[in-house]
Amino acid sequence: MSHPLNTRSLFTVALSVALAITATGLGAQSVEATKPMALRTVMEKLGRDMQAVTGAISKEEWALVAELAPKIAKHAEPPLSEKMRILGWLGTDAGKFRDFDGHVHDAATAMGDAAKRGDGQAVITAFSKTQQNCLACHQSFRQSFVEQFYGKR
């Protein structure tokens, strides 16, 4: 017993398969869009370290500043796959993003060196440069980054 498939049946099956594949893909995208990226964890850690430096500066605890500064300068990075997504999104602004990160690295390193010398004024100057570059990066990229990877909130 053979049942010839008519065109309408083939079309219905093909459409059903296409819709199922599309729905599965959309579901995966929405899960990925709501799942926090590793960069968020990196930024949260940097925020805690910057707050700790602020407290240490206010108490002139230069040893603690010297301990925290390298953690800021050489902060963790997201996994390569995430980094590639971010760089793809940044496009021609990737260099600007890297420059901000490089300036943060240099200023945090200078802050650590100044703290080791016990030079409070130089610590504060370097901390200010670190903070200024964090702020400039956030003002340049944070809102559009959040919209791109987390949707409008």
User: For residue range 35-61, what is the model confidence (pLDDT) as tens digits?
Assistant: 789 999 999 999 999 999 999 999 999
Whole-model pTM? Answer: 0.76
Q: How confident is the model at residue 34 (pLDDT cuts 50, 70, 90)?
A: low
Structure tokens at 115: 């703290």
> What integer pLDDT is reported at residue 22 of this predicted model?
41
